[in-house]
Amino acid sequence: MKLILATTFLCLVTSATSAEDVESVVTLLEFVIDVDEETAAKCLATLRDRVQSGEVNGEQRDAIRRQLDAKLQEVFVAGRTSPLYIDSLLLATSWGDKEAAKRTSAIVGNSVEKQTSRIAAIDALAAARDLDFLQTANSLLRSSKTPEVVRSRLLGAMGRYDSPDVANFVLSCYDDLSSDLQPQAIELLTQRAAWSRSLLEAIGRQELPTNVLNVNQVRTLLSSSDKELVALVTSQWGAVRTERSPEREGIIRQMHDQLRQVSGDAYRGREVFNRVCGQCHKIYGEGQDVGPEITRNGRGSFEHLLSNVFDPSLVIGASYQARSVITADGRILTGLLAEDNEQRIVLKIQGGKLEIVPREDVEEIAISKLSLMPEGLEKQLTVNQLADLFAFLSLDQPPENPEATPIAGTPEGLISRP
């Protein structure tokens, strides 16, 4: 019965268009709230997700809000004693209830709250574009006491705000972010032209090194319709190719020769992988599921591995062709297509995060000829770091496994043994 109720509610919410449909949604939800709190929590979460993604919006959202308000107020009066308090609060916040937003903001800032509750609260406030929340987010980003996962969600949430304050906040606390979060911060700043200009100006003042931007990000900025931004990128980077280059073949040969003359530590190589590659790739069950899972893929031989690492655009599977989505308010999101239907587009971006864009907010979609994985790894890592990384990737099992053996063609001295 619980499953039937939850499934029926999902169908009603997804297809509701008329006043009668909206009334059916509200009637069913009110009934479930009164008779089954567990199912009610699931239904409230379903409605909240659809509001946040934009699939329930406009008149439909406002009508549900009006008709459901009295029932939610009963829950708010009961406060924390009600098992439905948090779910109701997050729903109300998501559709713009100012009083609910104040309470939700307090949850985000409270270190005693569960991380899952804090993250859900961040999503609700960002969906509502609550401007007061930006100040809260800024304070939490700066605090070393804020858990890494919460800081990461804060950075992701800031992308929804078309405000110059975002760039100011992120750039001012960049040095305080961990090495895992700094790439996410840079990716965020490339999503809007105004933020990108602030980033490039900071690079021009030598407050940040030029290499905080990878080649793919530079290509994205050069494709902008903002002429001032394009001129700024060109002045710092010059011309950047948009097609595959035969030069990569020369790099592969160079790396092939170089890695035959060094030895690396596979354990240290795992650390390099987690920092540089793990934002998009999984190996042995660890890392993010954005690009291909490479435990059994892409490492058939050492030559195959070299090609995939140093010329990632040579072969791109259809499901791994990057999409760039430009929204109506000027945001640029680049990632792999996870979902595409009449209601929304979902992109999987760096770090494994899903970005949901309502179809009506999509202005343009472009398919890239180049891999989402940026070229130039040889410029980001030292010779020793490359040796460590390839010592790790050239084993067919984790380094602690005594049965681990080098993949075919691995240089004899590359993997140092204890």
Instruction: Report the SS3 class of residue 311.
Output: coil
pLDDT digits (tens, 9 = 90+) for 375-415: 888 888 999 999 999 999 999 999 999 999 999 899 999 99
Does residue 178 sit within a domain? yes
CA atoms within 13 A of residue 306's CA, in its CB half-sphere: 22
pTM: 0.73
**Residue 81 CB-density burial (10 A; 0-12 exposed, 13-18 middle, 19+ buried):** exposed
Q: 105 near 130, Cβ under 8 Å?
A: yes
Residue-number span of the structural domain to which 65 is assigned: 1-146
Query: What angle (nearest 5°) sits at the alpha carbon of residue 328, between those of residues 369 and 321?
Result: 20
| Distance of alpha carbon 44 from alpha carbon 88, whole angstroms | 7
| Distance of alpha carbon 179 from alpha carbon 413, whole angstroms | 31
Same domain for 389 and 366, yes or no, is no
Does residue 186 sit within a domain? yes
Same domain for 352 and 257, yes or no, is no
Query: What is the rounded end-to-end Cα distance, in angstroms, of the chain?
Result: 60
Does residue 257 sit within a domain? yes
Q: 259 near 387, Cβ under 8 Å?
A: yes
Question: Does the pLDDT value for residue 6 go beyond 60?
Answer: no
Per-residue HEC secondary structure of 118-147 comes to HHHHHHHHHHCCCCHHHHHHHHHHHCCCCC
> 27-41, 184-198, 347-361: which has the highest mean pLDDT?
184-198
Q: What are phi and psi of 414, to 5 degrees?
A: -65, -40
Same domain for 295 and 323, yes or no, is no
Does residue 307 sit within a domain? no
The pLDDT value given to residue 54? 84
Q: 22 near 67, Cβ under 8 Å?
A: yes
Does residue 181 sit within a domain? yes
Same domain for 235 and 263, yes or no, is no
Does residue 411 sit within a domain? no
> 22-36, 95-109, 306-320: which has the highest mean pLDDT?
95-109
Same domain for 360 and 380, yes or no, is no
Q: What are phi and psi of 327, to 5 degrees?
A: -90, 165
The pLDDT value given to residue 39? 86
Same domain for 341 and 216, yes or no, is no
Question: Does the pLDDT value for residue 5 go beyond 50?
Answer: no
pLDDT digits (tens, 9 = 90+) for 197-231: 999 999 989 899 887 887 778 888 888 888 899 88
The pLDDT value given to residue 116? 94
Q: 57 near 51, Cβ under 8 Å?
A: yes
Does residue 162 sit within a domain? no
112 confidence band (pLDDT: 50, 70, 90): very high
Per the structure block, which two tokens stand in for 179?
């090495």
Same domain for 108 and 217, yes or no, is no
Does residue 339 sit within a domain? yes
Q: What are phi and psi of 192, to 5 degrees?
A: -135, 145
Q: What is the mean pLDDT of residues 49-58?
A: 85
The pLDDT value given to residue 245? 65
Question: Does the pLDDT value for residue 16 go beyond 60?
Answer: no
Same domain for 37 and 94, yes or no, is yes
CATH code for the domain in which residue 337 is found: 2.30.30.100
Q: Within the chain, how many helices (H) and strands (E) appear?
A: 19, 7
pLDDT digits (tens, 9 = 90+) for 229-243: 988 888 887 666 555
pLDDT digits (tens, 9 = 90+) for 137-192: 999 999 989 999 999 999 999 999 999 999 999 999 999 998 888 989 999 999 99
Same domain for 69 and 126, yes or no, is yes
Same domain for 13 and 105, yes or no, is yes
Same domain for 42 and 86, yes or no, is yes
Same domain for 39 and 131, yes or no, is yes
Number of domains within the chain: 4
Of 53-67, 80-94, 127-141, least confident by mean pLDDT is 53-67
